[in-house]
Structure 1
Amino acid sequence: MSTKLIAYDLNSPGQNYDELIEKIKSYGAWWHHLDSTWLVKTNRTTSNIRDDLKKIVGSDDEILVIDVTSDARAWTGFNTSGSKWLKETWG
């Protein structure tokens, strides 16, 4: 299992945030404290996630999926629950 960063910018008319968000949540344990940016622990590949989400968004929308599994990490300014999730996820 690895951690993927999923970010998006929905530019197309009739943006379907609800369906996109439900799909992202379905991939596994998730963290979402920044607009349009998610961290998800999942067995899915970056290409698989991209292709899956591409079916939901419009042709003018942008999706970025990056495997961010590593020991390098740093953050600041998040509330207690956000920081707790990050600490517990990466040990």
Structure 2
Amino acid sequence: MSAYLITYDLNAPGQDYESLIERIKSYGTWANLMKSTWIVVSNTSADAVYTHLRGAMDDSGWLFVVDISGQDRQGWLTKDTWDWIRKHV
């Protein structure tokens, strides 16, 4: 299993965030770090995650997916978020 950081911008007004968020949550193991930043755990590739999520977006949006399964990390987040990261990433 790998942990993937997902970040996005839906640039056009009136975008359907709920469809994208439903696809993110469909991975089962997820954390919402910031408004448009998530981590999911999956046994697929970054390309597969990207393709799955991109289907919920139009061409004006931006999407970045990266494997973050390594142990070198730092940041200012809530204790609950760090506990989740330590458990799943």
Structure 2 length-normalised TM:
0.89
User: CA-atom RMSD, angstroms?
Assistant: 1.3
CA distance in 2, matches of 1:56, 1:84: 30
CA distance in 2, matches of 1:16, 1:5: 20
Q: Percent identity?
A: 35
| Residue type of the alignment partner of 1:30 | W
CA distance in 1, matches of 2:85, 2:61: 28
| Residue type of the alignment partner of 1:85 | W
| SS at structure 2 position matched to 1:13 | coil
Gaps of at least 5 residues in structure 2 are none
What is the correspondence of 1:21-32 to structure 2 with a 5 Å cutoff?
A: 21-32=21-32
1:30-51 Cα deviation digits (max 9, x unpaired)? 1112120111111121111111
Structure 1 length-normalised TM:
0.87
Conserved in 2, the CA contact under 8 Å of 1:27 and 1:44?
no
Match of 1:44 in 2: 44
Match of 1:80 in 2: 79
CA distance in 2, matches of 1:16, 1:68: 27
What is the correspondence of 1:9-20 to structure 2 with a 5 Å cutoff?
A: 9-20=9-20
CA distance in 2, matches of 1:74, 1:13: 33
CA distance in 2, matches of 1:49, 1:33: 18
Deviation for aligned residue 1:54: 1.5
